[in-house]
Chains A and B, each alone.
Chain A
Amino acid sequence: MAHTGSPALAPHTKYETHEHDVLVIGAGGAGLRAAIEASASGVSVGLVCKSLLGKAHTVMAEGGVAAALGYVEPRDNWKVHFRDTMKGGRYLNQWRMAQLHAMEAPDRVKELEEWGALFDRTPDGRILQRNFGGHKYPRLAHVGDRTGLEMIRTLQQHGVHCGMQVYMECTVTRLLVDGDRVRGAFAYWRDSGRFVVFQANAVVLATGGIGRAFRINSNSWECTGDGQALAYLAGAELMDMEFMQFHPTGMVWPPSVRGTLITEGVRGEGGTLRNKDGKRIMFGYIPELYANETASAEEEADQWLRESTTGGASKARRTPDLLPRDIVARAIYSEVKAGRGSPHGGVFLDICTRRSAEDIKRKLPAMYHQFKELGDVDITKEPMEVGPTAHYTMGGVRVDPETQQSRIQGLFAAGECAAGMHGANRLGGNSLSDLLVFGRIAGLHAAKYARSHAAPKLDPEEIEAASREALAPFNRAEGQNPFALHEDLKDKMQTLVGIIRVEADLKKGLEQLARLSEAVGRIKVDGNRHYNAAWHQAFDMRNMLVVSEAMARAALLRKESRGAHAREDFPDMDKGHFSKVNIVSKMTPSGMEVREEPLPDVPAEIKQVLEEKE
């Protein structure tokens, strides 16, 4: 290797430079939607992603995209969607984001149809909508159980004809900033290892979540918290990091697929959770907040299902199987802990006694396939074994609700890597709609920003520093194996900062993270830079550690249980102090600073919407 890592000896780094008005980092739903919007407004757009185009994590989304189209239930409208979202988020959401989201989601979904998406249809030929946890009415537009694929392919096929420049298999390792103003990004091609510098007037982060920090997770390899870490290292703030959603139904057996997701759509189609005695578990776990609207006995739950899935309005109350995810995940956790779990440490999810084999194969083809191929289970004949899996990051980059801009000028964030929309817990289906709504807003404002500001100048020193950091793992005589460190991190996060938390564990977790951070600084990579998996993993580790630390610190500070954040030592939801604050983390010279930030005031007319009954 030519570089020694010493600034005095290093020749100037070689790199290619590309200039764009707007650089979008991430080509999932949020990034593609942002890039389309920015391109449409006429500015030059670069779109960077770590994997091939169309493979981003969004492709895995199954159940659907939430939008109050009102096609199946005419009583649905943005206000009901807004109320459901705020309630699901236990009122820690940024109300303005939740409002924009509920109001704009229907248009964003119709726009997808305009670009070629083929959602399942109602008998009268409109978009069909299905029930999902926490949504009062059938609201999720879907395509069987492969909605994410339909969405990403539609955006991709539309996007490549919009004039954007795509840089695929290219990883950004640093944002380039001048004080509090972004000016570009430093990246490398995954295949050749060569460096790339992007000069950009505005940057949109759309890098997704951070599930890979946990032992049991449903996420693709890309979900290593890059955007959150890049923003944090560039001086932006992170918010709501204590809220990590554990999806109640991941596969638990065999070990190879532990954590792989089973869509909530199974329960939307009538599936029920049972313990080893065959008893439906959810009736025992209905919290006060949802008691009024949830069926208290099987008969009523089944009536509701029957009526609401056949298109009619039901007078019965909803089945508790479709309570928000945090509640269902903890119910499963409790059943297993009480010794009533399934053979491999989960509970049973039964659809086979509830729907015909034909219905199951038509409505849930991917689930059928997945269990048959990977689990040796025929779900039309046998129940599935399920348990919680780390799934979605409510926390992320703190942004302005109107524009999605972070505290760094010209730096925007959208999608899973941004915070605020979902508060303490996300409702299923509200992510795909979030990507579309806020992807568009971020793209729009990034383009606006780029047009109204002079292009920033790059600083060779800053680029040199990024290059030194990138090459350091090659220049160590000996050191740590990044894959082994990743295994270590996953275990620590799972056990110490996992689904149920307690102060002593969180403190131990922070010590472990400090140890791991130090070890990550000593990663040694062999070989050269050509498609070097270990080298790639080294960057992922840096990012996951930043985000993991923010999670653990925020979790320690929030002394209550709310939404996805559950503390054994503070099991109740606080009606006072903690109901009024978000937790924000920021880099300081002395390390990570975590503070409380009061929730923005809710205007009277919004309060009124929240209190309305219908």
Chain B
Amino acid sequence: MSAKATLKVFRGDAEGGKFQSYEVETYPGMVVLDAVHEIQAKQEPTLAVRWNCKAGRCGSCSAEVNGKPRLMCMTRMSHFEEGQPVSVAPMRSFPVIKDLVTDVSFNFEMAKKIPPFSPRPREADGTHRMQQQDIDRIQEFRKCIECFLCQDVCHVIRDHKKSNFAGPRFLIHLATLDMHPLDTLDRRELAKDEFKIGLCNITKCCTEVCPESIHITDNGIIPLKERVVDDYFDPVKWLMRKVAGGPEKKKAKLPVISDEPLRGTFAATPLAKRGEGE
């Protein structure tokens, strides 16, 4: 005899929707994504959900499970109290496309604005030398699977939609570039003026939800904030750093971005108004 669980899944689109209850049979090790797939295969073939790897590696299956931002494929059903329904909703900060699928194109647009890595030349023997301890910290940031759960919970993104705040995911990307031993660009002015790092008030909500346990705030945003502030408000420190050596960095400019957005999501127009896909 197998146990049963009830899921309340959001069904709807940009125009609105409601939670619908489904009962599924559970099995050992079952995760929320399995349960959603059970519903899709046996009850609601048109249920929309994003996923790729089912191993916590790709960051596609982000959703809010019982109100908490999580990866559905890494959330065990046994995690929840038996008999209590489990609610599954799309990420709140991004427009809904359909059911559990949201329009996350904001993040892809933001990624394009960050001036890319620009390394110094190689050593004479054709290698780049870096010590492991010098890259440990940024290797931590590069564990990011772009699930955008941190973006989802950040109140600055939620409240200041138009502020152009890059959000935690991209602040740690800026921090990665800033701390990369080979990089030659200084993106601090952009971090301040363009990506609005000043708006972050270190609530650490982002760090709490990160499935990769990246110390987004303590190891990334706070040091980056300090470096931005240092340079702007403390000419002595700035001079000291210059004298102490380290590579001279060129000031970065925003990359030239083509008008064409990355295509793929249309959520700005409610689905109902898009006709039958013609």
Interface residues of A (CB under 8 A from B): 1-2, 14, 51-57, 59-60, 71, 110, 113-116, 118, 120-121, 124-127, 143-144, 146, 148-150, 153, 157-158, 160-161, 163, 165-170, 188-189, 191-195, 220-222, 253-257, 260-261, 366, 369-370, 373-375, 481-484, 487, 525-534, 537
B28 close to A52 (CB less than 8 A): no
Q: Among B116, B132, B276, which residue has the most Cβ atoms of chain A within 10 A?
A: B276
In whole angstroms, what is the CA distance A110 to B121 when docked? 12
Contact in complex: B129, A126 (CB < 8 Å): yes
Instruction: Kindly provide the distance from the CB of A345 to the nearest chain B CB, expressed in whole angstroms.
Output: 14
Are A483 and B266 neighbours in the complex by a CB distance under 8 Å? no
- A52 and B60 in contact (CB under 8 A), knowing A1-B276, A118-B135, A525-B45? yes
Report the 6 A-B pairs with minimum CB-CB distance, sorted nearest first: A254-B29, A125-B129, A534-B45, A168-B264, A256-B29, A116-B117
- A118–B274 CB distance below 8 A: no
> A169 to B112, alpha carbons, bound, how many Å?
18
Which residue of A has the minimal Cβ distance to B183? Answer: A116
Interface members, chain B 93-108 (any A CB < 8 Å): 97-99, 101, 104, 108
Q: Is the CB of B278 within 8 A of A194?
A: yes
In the assembled complex, the Cα of A221 lies from the Cα of B52 at a distance in Å of 6
Is the pair A220, B53 in contact by a Cβ cutoff of 8 Å? yes
Whether the Cβ atoms of A143 and B41 lie closer than 8 Å is: no
Pairwise interchain contact A531-B99, C-beta atoms closer than 8 A? yes
* Inter-chain contacts of B255 with A (CB < 8 A): 161
Q: Bound state CA distance, A109 and B127, in angstroms?
A: 11
A76→B164 CA distance, assembly (Å)? 50
CA distance A369 to B29 in the complex (A): 15
Contacts of A2 on B, CB cut-off 8 Å? 276, 278
A366 contacts B57, C-beta separation under 8 Å: yes
- Docked complex Cα distance between A148 and B56 (Å): 13
With contacts A373-B56, A530-B13, A530-B277 known, what are 17 further pairs, Cβ within 8 A? A54-B58, A55-B53, A55-B58, A55-B60, A55-B146, A149-B57, A157-B111, A161-B112, A163-B258, A169-B264, A193-B277, A194-B278, A260-B54, A481-B45, A483-B40, A528-B277, A533-B49
Q: A144: which B residues are within 8 A, CB to CB?
A: 139
Q: Hey, which chain A residues are within 8 Å of B210, CB to CB?
A: none
| Residues B29 and A375 in contact, CB atoms below 8 Å apart | yes
Interface assignment of B31: CB less than 8 Å from any CB of chain A? yes
Contacts A221-B52, A260-B54 hold; do A53 and B135 have CB atoms under 8 A apart?
no
In the assembled complex, the Cα of A331 lies from the Cα of B276 at a distance in Å of 54
Known: A51-B60, A192-B274, A256-B29. A121 touches B53 (CB 8 A): no
- Residues of B in contact with A (beta carbons under 8 Å apart): 13, 27-31, 34, 40-42, 45-60, 74, 76, 97-99, 101, 104, 108, 111-112, 116-117, 119, 126-132, 135, 138-139, 142-146, 177, 180, 255, 258, 260, 262-267, 271, 274, 276-278
Could you tell me if A115 and B117 are in contact, using CB atoms closer than 8 angstroms? yes
Closest chain-B Cβ to A209's Cβ sits at a distance in Å of 14
Of B28, B99, B104, chain A has the most CB atoms within 10 Å of the CB of B28
B17 CB to nearest chain A CB (Å): 13
- Asked whether, in the complex, the Cβ of B74 is within 8 Å of the Cβ of A526, the reply is no
Find chain B residues with CB under 8 A from A532 CB. 45-46, 48
> Is the Cβ of B45 less than 8 Å from the Cβ of A121?
no
Shortest beta-carbon distance from A139 to chain B in Å:
16
**27 A-B pairs with C-beta separation under 8 A:** A52-B108, A54-B58, A54-B146, A59-B52, A60-B55, A118-B139, A126-B127, A127-B127, A146-B57, A157-B117, A165-B260, A166-B262, A169-B265, A170-B263, A192-B274, A193-B277, A195-B277, A221-B51, A256-B28, A373-B76, A374-B74, A487-B41, A526-B46, A527-B46, A529-B276, A530-B277, A537-B45
B264 with A189: CB separation less than 8 A: yes
Chain B residues near A526 (CB, 8 Å)?
Answer: 45-46
Contact B58 A60 (CB under 8 A): yes
- Minimal Cβ-Cβ distance residue in A for B79: A373
Contact A192 B111 (CB under 8 A): no
Q: Once the chains bind, are B138 and A120 in contact (CB under 8 Å)? A: no
